[in-house]
Structure 1
Amino acid sequence: MTTTPADSPIRILHLSDFHFSTRSQWDADPILRALAGFIAADAAENALYPDLVIITGDLAQSGKRNEYALARQWLEDLWPHLTRDPATPLPSDRLLLVPGNHDVDWNLIEPGARDAHQALLAAKTQDAVTDRLKSKDTRELLFKRHAAYLRFHGDWLKQRQSLPWWQRRIRLHNQDLHVAGLDSAWLAGGDDDSRLLLGTSQINQTVLHPKGEGGCDWRIALLHHPWASLAEFDRNDAQRTLHRHRDLILRGHLHEPDLFRIVPADPRRSCIEAAAGCCYSGKPYPNAFQWVELHRDPRRVLFHFRCWNQGDWQVDRNQPGCPEGTHTIDLPAAAGAVRSSPHPTRKADRQVDTHLPECPEGTHTVDLPAPADGPVQMPARHDTAPVPKPSAASPDGINSGLHMHRGRCRFRDGPRQDPDRHHPGLQPGLLLRAPTGRSRPAYPTRRQRPR
């Protein structure tokens, strides 16, 4: 266990997308050896010794055993440098892993597994997903692609891993964390990332596990893919559930560092999403990683950005609004797991919804910073929908959509005489890109092209 003071922040080393491969070792080895040396020096010079090391997928390039052998050697060389005293290394179970699409051995995907995938996409129901996962034979057929990954994970932990997803409750510095490790790649079979599934069954076993309810100071979820990679019938519920029941979501895949904050009506549901960038994926991508600090009093999350630039790992000062390579996001006091409020029974067609958390009048307001580079164009409900203009029937343009006035925005929908407070757009709130302050709706987008 760590010997740092009990009131110290919880420190996380967040890495992703190594793509260890014997074929690219000649090019990757200098960068990854430099990465290990930089992490060791960074931890010592800036007191960033981690309590947890998190890798959010694509540890290997093609899910082969020899690739995980390279990964294990790299981790074993780094591990003694992650504590102040190399004689007392970080416990091996402080490494938290989730698989990515390159942790899949595509050669092990049998025709029956591909047929099962197609059947799930055609059914478009969570019942179909659960039925197949209940079957031991079908489950083994689908998880066969993760054979080398599960073997590596189990060998590192010295404990067999039967499922590629997991949940753990961890106590560090007198704080309780609940971590949900999700597998967004259990149906991955190539670079087509728009037809993947998490599944309600997986989420119930991890994010909504009883150990994650009540008394947790921090609730964290790990996954590889962004939301746009999931099939639509699975994506919406998964995204909504994680945003409501997690404080922090760490992911990888897109090979570029990114940071978002979800600001819902109920501040206790505030959620941060952070992508680490990639540790190595060739010259075209900006190799990067990040340190994450969880502070308890006041409750905040501090990010330290690092990148590979012109042959060296260094502080990343190129993130907008982060000249020192750091960014802090304050969060409300922890309130444990927050359950959804029941939707009111509509006795008439028009009724104010006062059941949304922290919205007793059926309205919610989010203040935004002034634009740094001119007006920000904001869509109403979809990326292509225009903000309504005044008309004879609606002189002040308040019939629908997103309304701007003096740096503040409000959602209102329906006839002017009785706005519709039931619109689901109220519930997810706004997705604020940190740290620039630009805003956009919290709906999944296909604009980003996954790698």
Structure 2
Amino acid sequence: MKAIFVHLSDIHFGQEKNGGDVVVNEDAKQRLIEDAREEVAKLGGKASGVIVTGDIAYSGKEHEYRNAGAWLGELADAIGCERVKVQMVPGNHDMDRDKISVPIECVLAQVREKGDAILDPLLDSDEGCDFLYGRFEAYRDFALDYECELDLNGQMSSGGRLELAEGRSIKFVRLNSALICSRNDAEGTLILGKRQRVLPQEDGVEIIVLVHHPLNWFQDSATARNYLRNRARVLISGHEHFPKLQVDSVEAGRDLLLLAAGATNPDYLAEGYTYKYNILVFEWDEDADALAVTINPRTWDDGLTRFRRDDVFLDGRAERQVLGSPNFHRAPLPAVAPPVDRAVSHEAPEVKPVDIAPAAASQTDSTFAASDSAAQAPAIEQSATLDQRLLQLRFFQELPEGERLKALVNLGAIPGDLKGRLDHSMERRLFRMLIKQGKARAIEALLDLAEAKKRGDTQ
């Protein structure tokens, strides 16, 4: 089976400073949706999800994420995947720079100077985590609705596993490279930290690492590189806005593919520096018993005013890279069907969307996340789980804060005379409580009514 993903990076919602830039950039985003729909359709199936390697917003503000959520929803609908199937990591622009106070600047400077000796004690305390993660409040709330948790005491988070064949899976691991970012960060000064360097290892599972900054931005890149080269099969990054592709042969039978993304919405446009995104296909290569990654790089063509294939990026390389995959070889070979005689059969192979089993409950905040064993649950239970997750996404993206509070009152979650402001995590807990009380249909009806009012259809 093939798993198809649309890969974006540096979308920078809210970047535009004038109405003209808004019009131009919005047009490019709409053309991207059309292009992705057509390219995924050519593959004969639906996409398994969307990957965003950071900088979804430009200033880390709540309204930027509202706009991003609406656009990502359009994209997901166009490529045929669930709206909740978005893997994301934060970038430096997902940090609210207005929340970088003088004390925070001083602490971040100490972390950059002394490394883990300062970072680890901060991450071991609730106060220290609040101190570090407070700059990402709007991003954190947005990411949680996609089950891409941020605040894990400095640890990596897992996006669950995706089975390509029996006993052959890939697993997404998300790193927060922006944890000690400040207003202006120089290359080579950031720190991943010990808790994000040690990647998991499991027979039959190859790791796909998502991170915003490339390795050259870290002080501890040498140590991190050792783990990556020996534990991961693919590293996907953003930030530098210029796409690169490299396959490192670590040793016989072990490769690491490094893909640096171009910017989906760069901060300026110039020759060779324009709107870019990728379509990625992950599959099991039966002949080599290995992970194969096919890259379809897409770039904006000013002359055509649309996206096209970026052959310059491939620079003569094959679009399909078969990677030495030692973790696959440690597990029993899958049972495979007899080979099809392609000289006789002219039917195109069926491409089905591959579903991602959610990460283990210990790695996520969501009530709706299932353990890896949930992949064996009946299809109807899986569908109900996804419906609830989608309902949660709609509740927090489609309703402004005031309307959400009114809804929580009307549904009996909070009293009408409640004083003060509820933070997003408390709203999420109240939402989950309503789901447990069997009020999912009432929430859905409320959301449908709000959507109808926006359209002016209240009959």
TM-score computed with the length of structure 1 as normaliser: 0.65
The answer to whether the 8 A contact 1:109-1:144 is kept is no
What is the CA-CA distance between 1:256 and the residue it aligns to?
1.4
What pairs up with 1:185-334 in 2 under 5 angstroms?
Answer: 185-194=178-187, 195-204=189-198, 207-208=199-200, 212-216=201-205, 218-231=206-219, 234-264=220-250, 266-281=251-266, 282-284=268-270, 285-296=273-284, 297-298=286-287, 299=290, 300-310=292-302, 311-322=305-316, 327-334=319-326
Q: Quote the residue 1:138 is aligned against.
A: 128
Q: Which runs of 5+ in 2 are unaligned?
A: 331-459
Query: Match for residue 335 of structure 1?
Result: 327
Output the CA distance in 2 between the equivalents of 1:145 and 1:117: 12
1:135-174 → structure 2 map (5 Å cutoff): 135-157=125-147, 162-163=151-152, 165-174=156-165
Q: CA deviation at 1:320?
A: 4.9
One-letter amino acid of the counterpart of residue 238, structure 2: G
Identity of aligned residues (%): 23
Q: Contact 1:250 / 1:276 at 8 angstroms: preserved in 2?
A: yes
| 1:257-276 CA-partner distances (Å, limit 9, x unpaired) | 11011112x33431110012
Structure 1 residues 337 and 133: CA distance shift in structure 2, 3 A: farther
Work out whether residues 299 and 309 of structure 2, in 8 Å CA contact, stay in contact via their aligned partners in 1.
yes
CA positional deviation for 1:193: 3.4
Equivalent position of 1:182 in the other structure: 175
Distance 1:197 1:337, change over 3 A: farther
* Conservation of the 8 A alpha-carbon contact between 1:193 and 1:230: no
Take 2:13 and 2:45, find their aligned partners in 1: how far apart are those partners? 25
Distance 1:95-1:276 versus aligned 2 partners, 3 A rule: same
Structure whose residues are more often helix by fraction: 2
Write the distance in 2 (CA, Å) between the matches of 1:141 and 1:91.
31
Alignment coverage as a number of residue pairs: 312
- Alignment-derived partner of residue 72 in structure 1: 69
| Larger RCO: 1 or 2 (CA < 8 Å, sep 6+) | 2
| Corresponding letter in the other structure for 1:307 | T
Distance in 2, matches of 1:42 and 1:68, equals 26
| RMSD, matched Cα | 2.3
Q: Is the 8 A contact 2:6 2:280 kept in 1?
A: yes
Mapped contact 2:174–2:209 kept (Cα < 8 A): yes
In the superposition, the TM-score normalised over structure 2's length comes to: 0.63
Output the CA distance in 1 between the equivalents of 2:190 and 2:236: 18
Structure 1 portions without partners, runs of 5+? 1-7, 84-88, 339-451
